[in-house]
Amino acid sequence: MMDRRWKIIFLCIMFVGLLVSLPAGVLAGANDEIRIAVGGPHTGFAAEFGAEEFRGVELALQELGGKIAGRPVKLMKTDTKCDASEAVKKFRDSLLRDKVHAFIGPVCGSSGLSIVEWAKDYPDLPILIAYSAPEDVTMRKRQYNVLRPGWTGTQDNYYLGKYVVQEKGWKKIIMIGQDYSFPWGQTHGFIRGFCASGGKKVYKIYHPPNTEDYSSYLLKIRSMAKDYDAVAMNTAGSDAVALFKQFFEFGLDKQIKLFGFTNAFDSTALPTLGDKAIGMISAMHYVEGLEYAKKGMFSKKVIDSWLRFKKAYMAEYGHVPSCPAEQGYVCLMLYARAVEAVGGDIENKKGELLDALHKADMTDAPRGPFVLDDFGHATQNVYIREVQKHDGQLVNVPIKVYRDVTQFTEYVKMKEAYMRQPSASRDYPPGDCSKLCANGLGPYPDGKCPK
Amino acid sequence: MSSTPTKENQGHRRKILYLIVGLIIISLPFWISRFGLALSTQIFFLTILVMSFTFMARHGGLVSLAQVSFFGISGYTLGILSVKAGIPFPYPYLLAIIAPPITAAIFGLIAIRVSAIPFLMITLAFGEIAYGTARHWSSLTNGDNGINNIPDIILFGVSFIAAKEPIRFYYLVLIVFVICFWLMNKINHSSFGLAFLATKQSSSRLEALGYPVFMIKYFAFIISALFAGISGILGTTFEGTINPDSIWFGTIMFMLIAAILGGVNHPLGPLVGVTVSTILERYIEPLTDHYRIVVGIIFLCTILLARQGIMGFLETRPIIQRVRRWFGFE
């Protein structure tokens, strides 16, 4: 038993520590400081995405010399844990406690959806969604103050679906992915493009995140391999590495083709996947090997702005930037340009600032030029990428580019009909193309197809 | 002139103390920051949740992790009925109040048969079922996307929107909290509460005396679910969102830490525990990336130095005992 005096001393230290920490958290900086909260997961399976996002924001601020429109900038990292209610909690804390002027983030899908609801109550507050990809954030539930210089799962994967049918001739696909909203959104876009281009069937297998042993799923795939053309890997992070390795251990590579959705062959995962990954196809609006593309695919300006970012990033952090890093970078640049457009007076010109954000010129973005559409979402290139080896390193290289892709993909002329479709979920849209119309949309209850 | 204080004197002192505490709490919105107000609102509704947990743990010796699931069941009932089914205002709330006790009544038939560790495990399993349902039955619960636009409470034409009317919402939560706190104290001191306490100490002896031990525990479980559900309604309305993660591990950990930090055996334990752990979390996190380590160390110190939590520790301090005597508390 410890001496009673020590007990009291210990508790006193704790109490004093608490008191000391109270004002430190509340202390706001100088009056002209611009405070920006950067929200993303810093713990849990998606922590690397949050870390990359923050690095990108930091790099952008460094390039701007730590100032926007002559005002010093303070970045505040906040951990939203890939949890929708945690995101709301942390965003509210940052707004009320730190009195931030703008938000960058969140990263995870469900967090984006809860934040856009939350944003309704603060219509003057600019929120730049970094990596969160459910299309509803800037579509069915759009808010004028919520902008997304990022992507939607549908935007990127629609063209992957189109590509595998048209160029590869694969019409029956087994999709295996993690069971949460991000992979659901990815599958949603893929099925639309796949079915609209003449695909037949997507068999969906969802596994819980953080699965280590895939043998039961792989056995199932083996038993189905004869009837299907390819397997789509819709998994990310450490799960993707485990699934990829076990796929080869089971010898499935000799029985069926493999390709991936956006994050499956992410630049952070490639070194672990090894040379087996060479030749793997995926699609995204971002590609870290843009400079290795065939000559003539991109203008010099596009390649130059990409290389400038890539070199600066590698000099600072020592590795190839991944997509969330670029997204964070672009978010801060976009905000900085809008703030400069209103002369730095963000306190009094809130409406003008939002307008400026919507109009900001991002034709020199590292990922390739983009503009924001009426809903505040990026209209940009989508790349079909192939893993190649250059200078001894595995990189994704664009082999085909679809330009000026909006979040409505090929439904841009029928926005209203598209938005009447149900949101992406675990079961929607169905994997069986015969249940959808020829254009990839679901029929109305009366059986008629949206036109 | 120092004389021994009379009962009457102490009564006056107590009244003044209650008055001061009451005034501080009621006047809180007028001098605290918006952040502090949001924090206090959260503290009050989370205290109701932790109170429902300590009620089971303190009296029955039953560590029920299912409280968080009851929190979620009422939140999801509210979300599904009001957002997905579009039922107008009072009915989703009424059903959300009764849904957790009904669930507890069904689940309790199985769970109450065991106690101690098996009870903990079975309530954990129940939590897993609730979490799994919320996550995978996406046609009902939206799965991982959660239910996001929970409508506002409008009572007698006055709206209680957490973001726009934080002061009103604070008072709403405060009133509910005071009612719950008062009710909980009443239950604790009733013959039912005492019998429930006795089940922890010796259920066989109680059985021999003719008390229906099973029914006592069973009803206590249902009551605790009611309280957890009320907390769930307030929490869901406050956050405006309910999703699988908010009814699983993070919240369970928070509940356990707050309960142990505050002290399970003291009526004020839940309030103190929730206040301390919420403030710690919110103020340490911006300072360091490794705030979990800091919280962990503080938690460890509490376990090592004050096994009965902060309230239990304070109670045994001579100075606190003197203060208590000065006010004439037992």
Mean pLDDT across B175-204: 90
What per-residue confidence (pLDDT) applies to B129? 93
CA A37 to the chain's CA centroid: 18
Per-residue pLDDT band for B248 (boundaries 50, 70, 90) equals: confident
Cβ-based contacts of A426 with chain B (< 8 Å):
136, 138, 143
Please state, in angstroms and rounded to a whole number, the distance separating the CA atoms of residues A423 and A377. Answer: 17
Q: Are residues A67 and A118 in the same domain?
A: yes
Q: Are residues A162 and A261 in the same domain?
A: yes
CATH at residue A165:
3.40.50.2300
Domain count, chain A: 2
Question: Is A167 contained in some domain?
Answer: yes
Q: Quick check: A364 contacting B, CB < 8 Å? A: no
* DSSP code string of B70-89: HHHHHHHHHHIIIIIS---T
Is the separation of the CB atoms in A182 and A112 below 8 Å?
no
Cβ-based contacts of B279 with chain A (< 8 Å):
18, 22
Please state, in angstroms and rounded to a whole number, the distance separating the CA atoms of residues B79 and B86. Answer: 9
Q: Are residues A161 and A125 in the same domain?
A: no
Is B154 a residue whose pLDDT tops 50? Answer: yes
What per-residue confidence (pLDDT) applies to A426? 84
What per-residue confidence (pLDDT) applies to A24? 46
Q: Which of residues 402-431 of A touch B (CB under 8 A)?
A: 423, 425-427
SS3 string, chain A, reads CCCHHHHHHHHHHHHHHHHHHHHHHHCCCCCCCEEEEEEECCCCCCHHHHHHHHHHHHHHHHHCCCEECCEEEEEEEEECCCCHHHHHHHHHHHHHHCCCCEEECCCCHHHHHHHHHHHCCCCCCCEECCCCCCHHHHCCCCCCCEEECCCCHHHHHHHHHHHHHHHHCCCEEEEEEECCHHHHHHHHHHHHHHHHCCCCEEEEEEECCCCCCCHHHHHHHHHHHHHCCEEEEECCHHHHHHHHHHHHHCCHHHCCEEEECCCCCCCCCHHHHCHHHCCCEEEECCCCCHHHCCCCCCCHHHHHHHHHHHHHHHHHHCCCCCHHHHHHHHHHHHHHHHHHHCCCCCCCCHHHHHHHHHHCCECCCCCCCEEECCCCEEEEEEEEEEEEEECCEEEEEEEEEEEEECCCHHHHHHHHHHHCCCCCCCCCCCCEHHHCCCCCCCCCCCCCCCC
Please state, in angstroms and rounded to a whole number, the distance separating the CA atoms of residues B20 and A222. Answer: 72
Q: What percent of chain B has a predicted confidence (pLDDT) above 70? A: 98
Please report the number of interchain residue pairs, chain A to chain B, with beta-carbon separation below 8 angstroms: 129
Q: Are residues A280 and A312 in the same domain?
A: no
Closest CA to A316 of A308, A305, A306, A324: A308
Q: Are A98 and B286 inside 8 Å of each other by CB?
A: yes
ipTM value for the complex: 0.82
What per-residue confidence (pLDDT) applies to A305? 92
Q: Are residues A370 and A266 in the same domain?
A: no
List residues of B whose CB lies inside 8 A of any A CB.
Answer: 33-35, 38, 135-136, 138-139, 142-146, 148-149, 161, 163-164, 239-243, 245-246, 250, 279-280, 282-287, 289, 292, 298, 301, 304-306, 313
Q: Are residues A206 and A121 in the same domain?
A: no
Q: Are residues A179 and A276 in the same domain?
A: yes
Min mean pLDDT across A203-207, A219-223, B234-238, B298-302 is at B298-302
Question: Is A212 contained in some domain?
Answer: yes
Please state, in angstroms and rounded to a whole number, the distance separating the CA atoms of residues A202 and A83. Answer: 29
Q: Which domain holds residue A41?
A: 31-151+297-379
Mean pLDDT across B269-281: 90
Closest CA to A375 of A137, A106, A109, A158: A137
Cβ-based contacts of B282 with chain A (< 8 Å):
25, 93, 97
Q: How many Cα atoms occupy the beta-carbon half-sphere of B207 within 13 Å?
A: 8
Q: Are residues A207 and A260 in the same domain?
A: yes
Per-residue pLDDT band for B145 (boundaries 50, 70, 90) equals: confident
pLDDT tens string B76-126: 999 999 888 888 878 889 999 999 999 999 999 988 888 788 999 999 999
What per-residue confidence (pLDDT) applies to A7? 66
Question: Is A341 contained in some domain?
Answer: yes
What per-residue confidence (pLDDT) applies to B2? 47
Render each residue's pLDDT in chain A as its tens digit; 451 residues.
Answer: 456 666 666 666 666 665 555 544 444 455 789 999 999 988 877 788 899 999 999 999 999 999 999 999 999 988 888 888 889 989 998 998 888 999 998 988 888 888 998 998 899 999 999 888 888 899 988 999 999 999 998 899 999 999 999 999 999 999 999 888 888 889 999 999 999 999 999 999 999 888 889 999 999 999 999 999 999 999 887 888 899 999 999 999 999 999 999 888 988 888 888 899 999 999 999 999 999 999 888 999 999 999 999 999 999 999 999 999 999 999 999 999 999 999 989 999 999 999 999 998 888 999 999 999 989 999 999 999 999 999 889 999 999 999 999 999 889 888 888 998 888 888 888 889 998 988 888 888 888 888 7
Question: Is A2 contained in some domain?
Answer: no
Q: Are residues A36 and A105 in the same domain?
A: yes
Length of chain A counted residue by residue: 451
Question: Is A347 contained in some domain?
Answer: yes
Q: How many Cα atoms occupy the beta-carbon half-sphere of A31 within 13 Å?
A: 2
